[in-house]
Amino acid sequence: MSTKNKQVAVSGVRPTGDLHIGNYLGAIKQFVELQEKYKTYFFIADLHAITEPQDPEKLANQTLDIAALYLACGLDPQKTTLFVQSHMPEHLELAHILGTLTPMGELSRMTQYKEKVEEGKPSNFGLFAYPVLMAADILIYRADAVPVGEDQLQHVELARTLVRKFNSRFGETFKEPKTLLQKEGARIMGLDDPSKKMSKSAASANNYIGIIDSEEEIRRKIKIAVTDSGKEIKFDPKTKPAISNLLTIYSRMADISVQELEKKYADKNYAEFKSDLADALVAALSPIQKKYKELAQNHENVLRILKECSVRAREVAEATMKDVRAKIGLLENAQRFA
Active-site positions read 116, 197, 200
Could you give the C-alpha distances from 263 to 184, 266, 268, in angstroms and in order?
19, 5, 10
CB atoms within 10 A of CB 307: 12
Distance between CA atoms of 334 and 302, rounded to whole angstroms?
Answer: 38
Sheet holding 145-147, edge to edge: 80-84, 39-44, 8-13, 145-147, 178-180
Contact 75, 35 (CB under 8 A): yes
- Indicate the SS3 state at residue 197: strand
- What backbone torsions phi and psi does residue 66 show, to the nearest 5 degrees? -70, -35
Residue 257 annotated as binding site: no
Residue 126 annotated as binding site: no
Residue 175 annotated as binding site: no
Residue 199 annotated as binding site: yes
Distance between CA atoms of 73 and 91, rounded to whole angstroms?
Answer: 26
Residue 88 annotated as binding site: no
- What backbone torsions phi and psi does residue 103 show, to the nearest 5 degrees? -65, 140
Residue type, 327: K
Contact 135, 159 (CB under 8 A): yes
Helix or strand holding residue 214 (H, E): none
Residue 197 annotated as binding site: yes
Residue 150 annotated as binding site: yes
Residue 288 makes CB contacts below 8 A (sequence gap 6+) with 69, 72, 73, 211
Distance between CA atoms of 172 and 168, rounded to whole angstroms?
Answer: 7
Residue 89 makes CB contacts below 8 A (sequence gap 6+) with none
Residue 329 annotated as binding site: no
Contact 281, 222 (CB under 8 A): yes
Concatenated DSSP letters of 220-274 = HHHHH----SSS----BTTTBHHHHHHHHHHHHHHT--HHHHHHHTTT--HHHHH
Residue 151 annotated as binding site: yes
Task: Summarize the annotated binding site for L-tryptophan as residue ranges.
Answer: 137
Task: Summarize the annotated binding site as residue ranges.
Answer: 14-16, 22-23, 137, 149-151, 188, 197-201
Task: Summarize the annotated binding site for ATP as residue ranges.
Answer: 14-16, 22-23, 149-151, 188, 197-201
